[in-house]
Structure 1
Amino acid sequence: MRLILNVIWLVLSGFWLAVGYVLAGIVCCVLIITIPWGLASFRIANYALWPFGRTVVDRPGAGAPSLLGNVIWIVVAGVWLAIGHIVTGLALCVTIIGIPLGIANFKLVPVSLMPLGKEIVPVP
């Protein structure tokens, strides 16, 4: 079932959302100071391509620097990526088949706003 959902996700929304994260990551990596945000963006892009069967958890030991970095990320790129997830999720929820994909989009909103201090792990 996860494979079917991931393939449908990739076709309907995953590719375009991942492109947004990759573009944000490239911009962040071009600016030397923002490389940690770029790496986090690439990690989330990978997750946005194939989300079913994986989940996002808090990384142990991520403290105040991650919180400060997330505040900067929200201002620079997080809001726009979160809006992309919300709009895509609403569009997918119009059809019955798209409802699970829309819900998955809504679950990606928190990680799009605060990617630092997060880790992607397989679902047991």
Structure 2
Amino acid sequence: MGCLGNLLWFIFGGFISGLSWTLTGCLWCITIIGIPVGMQCFKFAALSFFPFGKEVRYGDGAGSFLLNLIWLIVSGLPLAIESALIGVVLCITVIGIPFGLQQFKLAKLALMPFGSEVY
């Protein structure tokens, strides 16, 4: 079921989300200081392309908080708004609700990606 869900997800919204994370990661990697942030973006791009069967555990810590704050101001809000809007559109139909919930999971991740782990 996870394979079929990931295939349908990729067609109906996962490609756009993953492409946004990849583009954001490329922009962060332009500077040497932004490379760790860009690498985190690429990790979450892979999750965004195929999210079914994966869990996200959110971390904490002072370093993560500061980096999440900078992230939120620079890149987090546009990615979170994009995922939330796609999630609302997908939740209009009963069949799209699981896909919309995955988008909401990605929206939360876009607000605080640092300190989070994907399983």
Q: Structure 2 length as normaliser, TM-score?
A: 0.95
Alpha-carbon RMSD? 1.1
Cα deviation code 1:56-94 (max 9, x no counterpart): 1135xx621111000000001100000010110011111
1:71 matched to 2:94? The reply is no
Range 75-84 or range 50-59, more displaced: 50-59
Cα deviation code 1:17-64 (max 9, x no counterpart): 0000001000101011111211111111000011010011135xx621
Specify which of 75, 82, 85 is matched with residue 84 of structure 1. Answer: 82
Residue type matched to 2:41 in 1? S
SS at match of 1:54: coil
Residue type matched to 2:98 in 1? P
Range 28-37 or range 81-90, more displaced: 28-37
What's the CA shift for 1:9?
A: 0.4
Separation in structure 2 between the aligned mates of residue 87 and residue 58 of structure 1, nearest angstrom:
22
Q: How does 1:39-118 map to 2 (within 5 A)?
A: 39-59=39-59, 63-118=61-116
Q: Tell me, which stretches of 5 or more residues in structure 1 are unaligned?
A: none
Cα deviation code 1:82-112 (max 9, x no counterpart): 0010110011111221111001111221111
Residue type matched to 2:3 in 1? L
Residue type matched to 1:105 in 2? Q
Runs of 4 or more, structure 1, over 2 Å off, are none
Q: Which position in structure 2 is the counterpart of 1:12?
A: 12
Higher strand content, 1 or 2 = 1
Size of the alignment, in residue pairs?
Answer: 119
Q: Tell me, which stretches of 5 or more residues in structure 2 are unaligned?
A: none
SS at match of 2:94: coil
